[in-house]
Amino acid sequence: MARTEKKGLVDSAADSGLDPVSVLPGVGPALQAALQRIGITRIQDLWFHLPLRYEDRTRLTPIRDLRVGESAQVEGTVEAVERSFRFRPQLRVVISDDARTMLTLRFFNFRRSQVEQMNSGTRLRCYGQIRHGTQGPEIVHPQYQRVTDAGVEVEESLTAIYPSTEGLGQKRIASLIELALRKLPGDEVLELVPRALRKDLHMLSLRAALLLVHRPPADADVAALLLGTHPAQQRLAFEELLSHHLSLRQLRMQIRRHGAPRLRGNGKLRKALIKSLPFQLTAAQQRVSAEIAKDIADAQPMLRLVQGDVGSGKTIVAAWAALAAVESGFQVALMAPTELLAEQHLRNLGTWLAPLGIEPVWLAGKVQGKARAAALAALAGDAQLVVGTHALMQQAVQFRDLGLVIIDEQHRFGVHQRLALRDKGRDGDRVPHQLVLTATPIPRTLAMTAYADLDVSVIDELPPGRTPVTTVALSSSRRGEVIERIRLACAEGRQVYWVCTLIEESEQLEAQAAEVAHAELTGLLDGIPIGLVHGRLKPAEKQAVMDAFRSGRIALLVATTVIEVGVDVPNASLMVIENAERLGLAQLHQLRGRVGRGGQASSCVLLYQPPLSAMARERLTAMRETSDGFVIAEKDLELRGPGELLGTRQTGRLEFRIADLARDAALLVEVQRIGTLMSEQHPELCERLVARWIGAASQFANA
């Protein structure tokens, strides 16, 4: 049992978890306001305000054993102190340990009193992250204290580091949690997952787990705690994953209580569309279309996520679903996160549907004046389909009868934005059906948790004619060879992308700016028409460049990552991504998907700036080894975590306190099983569990 309990910290058997934090000594209005900023209003919020990480100050590490990237505690004697004010103030302190090995401490913010404390011969104990320095290992802004002749004892247990906010330091929040733990009740009050449901899990009790993670005893498994795999952390991760799962199940049930229009139609438009296509739908496209048809024929709202790799043909499936709504007399809205992507949808849908007598309405931020007034009038009148961006959610936009909402790359929208569009079709208790598309393959472990409120369909088959893309990673020192390869490709009539990661030159980043690259390539590739597109161009300028590239008047397009989605040029067969080490796996995969869309052999060159970090090397290796989007997504989840992968930091979803979807995936099967049983047998406990872990944030999970 943890030391906290041995010391008699637990003095109440009653459930005082719902008491306000103001009952704790020393918590006045200012502190209460600071706590509220990080979601702490009740005593139980402090119990479940779990450490972000631990610092191991239980031992001293010899300087020679320090490893770059890891944090460690060292002790040494000051050998030299150097102040400089060139460019910016800087204090450099060199210490050595008993083995006479040197370590540099570097400070950019310091006071005169600090300098005066660090005389030669002073002994310091320091803690921080080790990094490469110009003269060996160094720590930037270490935490430190002077060591007197009496010495300083090392800590007996790991030091917990908590999520915090301005005006709330680590010592204060740790002391408040200590006070709150004294009010921790027994398991009979604390446990919300019935014993009968968790008896086969062989986990610690919730009370024991909480006490251990907040105050790890001296004999705790330090390595497991630092990795997040300790049984106490796994017990808490299980309950947190369960609460998120239950929250999304509740959301699904809440939405299912609404009615929805039955979109059955007579099938004439859909048959005409399929007959007019110059290609046949794949078996996967047909299967997903049938799943959608079954959903929208029901009087309950469809909530379906269609995921498919780049180029798998999601748009034609969306067009087919849209026609089912039009056949039934309802309107359809398709919303995309960028104008480039929305315009791509507009072109495709116009090509397919105009021969059927359906002209999509276009509504984006740049549509103003008479054109905007005409679009708004059409939506309130006879328009059958609208394609647009965030502009679709503006207050002035009113629909005649919206029956189907299609959202592309939904993770790029905030929760309120998605709700705003759906609610434009609300008619009493009836809401539109929702179809969500994503070209970011979602790992199964992520889909089980992040999309428990959605039915998931997968288009797991590429249309015939798509060619595999050969991927190579080259050091930037071979840039000249790559430019010659571009010259040859353009001479053969092929088109090329050159992707940069910045718009303007930056002294702090070694990435080439798109404007600099454009000027350089124009000078080196005389006679080859080269275009430039980035996010700061005016929409008309951007459109003109993209049209010229599509038509073949531009052979080489220099671009920022704005071309990640929504650009379809079958003749483009070579992609060069500069400073590829700076991009995440999902983004690299999306960019690579811009080539290989025609019948010719295609290549992707990942130019990187050495030296590569371990994570960057893993990313580039994964890109070379596979073009399977789901394999890429699993690796991306492992390397970056769910919040990064889904872009959900803006939404309040998946901001776990202790759970980690990649690390804790093995728990998800039991989470689903127990979630189903609790929903059926103990709905009141489900609500309390969601409130405990998610609280007010649960209202924002409506995605």
Residue 199 CA to residue 43 CA, distance in Å, equals 28
Given a cut of 90, is residue 201 above it in pLDDT?
no
Looking up tokens 């790890």 gives 216
Of 394, 247, 307, 297, nearest in space to 703 by CA: 247
Task: Tell me the per-residue pLDDT of 127-171, one tens digit each, with 9 for 90 and over.
Answer: 999 998 888 899 999 999 889 877 777 887 788 999 888 888 898
| pLDDT recorded at residue 29 | 94
Classify residue 165 by its DSSP letter.
B
| pLDDT recorded at residue 515 | 87
| Mean pLDDT in residue range 106-121 | 88
Residue 503 CA to residue 84 CA, distance in Å, equals 33
Given a cut of 80, is residue 413 above it in pLDDT?
no
For the record, the structure tokens of 338 come out as 């960028």
3 state DSSP class of 145: strand
Domain boundary assignment for the chain: 3-54+159-227, 64-146, 268-459, 469-626
Task: Tell me the per-residue pLDDT of 83-107, one tens digit each, with 9 for 90 and over.
Answer: 888 777 889 999 999 888 999 999 9
Residue type (1 letter), 355:
P
For the record, the structure tokens of 489 come out as 């490709």
Residue 48 CA to residue 108 CA, distance in Å, equals 36
Distances (CA, A) of 120 to 260, 343, 476: 77, 67, 44
For the record, the structure tokens of 428 come out as 């009493």
Top CATH class of 268-459 equals alpha beta
SS (H, E, C) 615-658: HHHHHHHHHHHCCCHHHHHHHHHHHHCHHHHHCHHHCCCCCCCC
Averaged confidence pLDDT in the chain: 86
Residue 499 CA to residue 507 CA, distance in Å, equals 19
Decide: residue 255, CB within 10 A, 0-12 exposed, 13-18 middle, 19+ buried: middle
| Mean pLDDT in residue range 54-74 | 90
Give the whole-number percent of the chain exceeding pLDDT 90: 53
Looking up tokens 């705003």 gives 420
| Mean pLDDT in residue range 61-65 | 93
| pLDDT recorded at residue 6 | 40
Residue type (1 letter), 129:
Q
Task: Tell me the per-residue pLDDT of 536-589, one tens digit each, with 9 for 90 and over.
Answer: 788 788 889 988 999 999 999 999 887 765 567 889 999 999 999 988 888 898
pLDDT band at residue 508, thresholds of 50, 70 and 90?
very low
Q: How many beta carbons lie within 10 A of that of residue 665, not counting itself?
A: 19
Given a cut of 80, is residue 662 above it in pLDDT?
no
Question: Poorest-confidence range of 25-39, 492-506, 661-675?
Answer: 492-506
Q: Which long-range contacts (CB under 8 A, 24 or more apart) does 93-97 make?
A: 93/118, 93/124, 95/124, 95/126, 96/63, 97/62, 97/63
The answer for residues whose C-beta is within 8 angstroms of residue 33's C-beta and 6 or more apart is: none
Residue 594 CA to residue 606 CA, distance in Å, equals 14
| pLDDT recorded at residue 641 | 57
Task: Tell me the per-residue pLDDT of 240-283, one tens digit each, with 9 for 90 and over.
Answer: 999 988 988 887 788 788 999 999 999 999 999 999 998 899 99
Of 455, 460, 469, 411, nearest in space to 312 by CA: 460
Q: Which helix (H) or strand (E) holds 224?
A: helix 222-227
Residue 241 CA to residue 327 CA, distance in Å, equals 42
| pLDDT recorded at residue 503 | 53
Q: Do domains 268-459 and 469-626 have the same CATH topology?
A: yes
Task: Tell me the per-residue pLDDT of 602-656, one tens digit each, with 9 for 90 and over.
Answer: 999 999 988 888 888 999 999 999 988 878 877 877 776 554 444 433 333 446 8
| Protein fold of 469-626 | Rossmann fold (3.40.50)
Strand 385-388 relative to strand 572-577, pairing: unpaired
Task: Tell me the per-residue pLDDT of 20-59, one tens digit each, with 9 for 90 and over.
Answer: 999 999 999 999 999 999 889 999 999 999 998 888 888 8
Given a cut of 50, is residue 1 above it in pLDDT?
no
**Sign of the C-alpha dihedral computed for residues 405, 410, 413 and 418 taken in this order:** positive
| pLDDT recorded at residue 13 | 38
For the record, the structure tokens of 155 come out as 């800590």
**Sign of the C-alpha dihedral computed for residues 519, 525, 531 and 532 taken in this order:** negative
Top CATH class of 64-146 equals mainly beta
DSSP secondary structure letters along 119-130: -TT-EEEEEEEE
Given a cut of 70, is residue 191 above it in pLDDT?
yes
